[in-house]
């Protein structure tokens, strides 16, 4: 199933995580996603190899931060920057186009230690939207900036700007053509996200997306809506979603998982299953999923689609990558 390079990376990651677990008893956990949805029959061995490679490279960036005692906020941001720069995912370069053929990007980041959050929506020319979201959190009195204002702010803070065509790939061009010819309906897919617990017990979440392919001009999805596609609270969990954003907004998915844990005492996995299968699934739509980690390092990767690109690593040496449903099961670290 794995290419040689993926196996090597997996091995390096394994050594890294194992060494760390011998050195300290503090735990850390990281989970990433590269979007839910897609058709399993289109997953050629070559494509699978590419996804696994990029997911594991992204994971390694976060693993390095956390295993050296770095904080979860930096880990999730660095991972998402890597994924935004990868043309494979629907975020940054590789993002989908709206119906007018323009890329409009959304991103959010949240610090579970203080409930601070930053988000941007409808960015057209900032290379790494997640960096803009972090700056909104760190350097303004606001949570969400949109469109031209968000772009002007990001540039004033020194972020790299690019022409809108920088985000384009042949694959997304063809996808938009199929939608325009009514051969395909607008659907989610390829959004990226990362959640992490660091050795200080802090939880963070970051998500970045080009949104839904063929979306209307100005459409904003769940990703930059704090509590919908992105949420983190040290008391409960860090959550990053991917899927049909309108449903995620209406169901306040990420916050609902946190609230079910906080107010109803559900475990991370119980809360995640409840929201995805009992609340989202009955609504129809294109579906999707979430990745989440709680304050004890438990992981949830729950989705109602047939695929969700995902990978994870923990300080105890567990690492993994999966794309299809059932390729790995949810891990519970009950001894922690
Ligand atoms: N949730 C994203 C949105 O609706 C799309 C996705 O996850 O692929 O904007």
Give per-residue pLDDT as tens, 29-63. 999 999 998 888 888 999 999 999 999 999 999 99
What integer pLDDT is reported at residue 23 of this predicted model? Answer: 44
What integer pLDDT is reported at residue 219 of this predicted model? Answer: 96
Name the residue with the closest Cα to ligand 1, atom 9.
Answer: 211
Helix H or strand E segment including 36: strand 29-36
- Tell me the CA–centroid distance for residue 59 and ligand 1, in Å: 21
Q: Which of 175, 211, 276 to mutate to test the pocket of ligand 1 (most atoms within 8 A of CB)?
A: 211
| Four-point Cα dihedral 38, 43, 47, 53, nearest 10 | 80
Query: Vertex 246, ends 243 and 248: CA angle to 5°?
Result: 60
Q: Which of 29, 63, 191, 242 is catalytic?
A: 191
- Tell me the CA–centroid distance for residue 82 and ligand 1, in Å: 18
Alpha carbon distance 336, 30 (integer Å): 15
User: Does pTM surpass 0.85?
Assistant: yes
Taking CB atoms and a 6 Å cutoff, what residues make up the pocket around ligand 1?
A: 35, 90, 188-191, 209, 211-212, 221-223, 229, 242-243, 245, 288
The residues, ordered by sequence, that sit 6+ positions from 254 with a Cβ below 8 Å of its Cβ are: 205, 227, 228, 229, 230, 231, 239, 240, 241, 248, 290
What is the phi/psi pair of residue 171, to 5°?
-60, -45
Helix H or strand E segment including 303: strand 299-303
Name the residue with the closest Cα to ligand 1, atom 7.
Answer: 242
Q: Which of 43-57, 79-93, 233-247, 318-332 has the lowest mean pLDDT?
A: 318-332
How many residues in the chain?
A: 336
Residues 274-302 have a mean pLDDT of 94
Higher-pLDDT residue of 328 and 82 is 82
Alpha carbon distance 5, 267 (integer Å): 36
Of 115, 47, 106, give the one whose Cα is nearest residue 309. Answer: 47
Beta strands in 112-217 (DSSP E): 116-123, 144-146, 192-197, 203-209
Atom of ligand 1 lying closest to residue 188 CA = 8
Q: Which two tokens stand for residue 33?
A: 């996603």
Of 168, 252, 253, 180, give the one whose Cα is nearest residue 215. Answer: 180
pLDDT-derived band at 142, boundaries 50, 70, 90: very high
Is residue 7 predicted with pLDDT exceeding 70?
no
State the helix-helix crossing angle for 129-139 and 72-85, rounded to 10 degrees: 150
Residue 236 annotated as catalytic: no
Of 223, 313, 298, give the one whose Cα is nearest residue 266. Answer: 298
State the helix-helix crossing angle for 45-67 and 4-23, rounded to 10 degrees: 20
Is residue 2 predicted with pLDDT exceeding 60?
no
> Tokens 């769940």 — which residue?
222
Domains of the chain plus CATH, in order, are 26-335 (3.60.20.30)
Q: Which of 122-136, 173-187, 284-298 has the lowest mean pLDDT?
A: 173-187
Higher-pLDDT residue of 35 and 174 is 35
Atom of ligand 1 lying closest to residue 211 CA = 9
Q: Which of 212, 228, 252 to mutate to test the pocket of ligand 1 (most atoms within 8 A of CB)?
A: 212
* DSSP H helical ranges for 146-192: 147-156, 170-180
What integer pLDDT is reported at residue 12 of this predicted model? Answer: 61
Higher-pLDDT residue of 96 and 186 is 96
Name the residue with the closest Cα to ligand 1, atom 4.
Answer: 245
């Amino acid at each position: 199933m794995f290419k040689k390079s993926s196996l090597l990376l997996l091995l390096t990651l394994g050594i890294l995580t194992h060494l760390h677990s011998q050195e300290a008893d503090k735990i850390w956990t990281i989970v990433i996603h590269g979007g839910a949805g897609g058709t399993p029959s289109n997953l050629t061995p070559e494509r699978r190899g590419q996804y696994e490679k990029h997911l594991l490279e992204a994971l390694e960036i976060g693993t390095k931060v956390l295993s050296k005692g770095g904080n979860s906020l930096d880990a999730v941001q660095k991972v998402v920057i890597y994924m935004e720069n990868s043309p494979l995912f629907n975020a940054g370069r590789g993002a989908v186009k709206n119906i007018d053929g323009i890329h409009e990007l959304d991103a959010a980041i949240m610090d579970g230690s203080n409930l601070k959050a930053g988000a941007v929506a409808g960015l057209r020319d900032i290379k790494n939207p997640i960096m803009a979201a972090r700056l909104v959190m760190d350097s303004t009195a606001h949570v969400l900036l949109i469109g031209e204002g968000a772009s002007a702010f990001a540039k004033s803070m020194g972020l790299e700007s690019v022409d809108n065509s920088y985000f384009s790939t042949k694959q997304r061009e063809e996808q938009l053509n199929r939608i325009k010819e009514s051969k395909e309906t607008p659907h989610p897919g390829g959004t990226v996200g990362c959640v992490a617990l660091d050795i200080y017990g802090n939880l963070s979440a970051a998500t970045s997306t080009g949104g839904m392919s063929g979306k209307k001009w100005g459409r904003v999805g769940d990703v930059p809506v704090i509590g919908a596609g992105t949420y983190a609270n040290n008391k409960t969990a860090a959550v990053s979603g991917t899927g049909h954003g309108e449903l995620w907004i209406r169901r306040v998915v990420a916050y609902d998982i946190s609230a079910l844990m906080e107010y109803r005492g559900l475990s991370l996995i119980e809360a995640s299953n409840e929201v995805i299968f009992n609340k989202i699934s009955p609504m129809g739509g294109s579906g999707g999923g979430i990745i989440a980690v709680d304050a004890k390092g438990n992981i949830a990767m729950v989705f109602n689609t047939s695929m969700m690109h995902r990978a994870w690593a923990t300080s105890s040496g567990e690492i993994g990558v999966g794309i299809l449903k059932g390729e790995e099961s949810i891990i519970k670290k009950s001894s922690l």
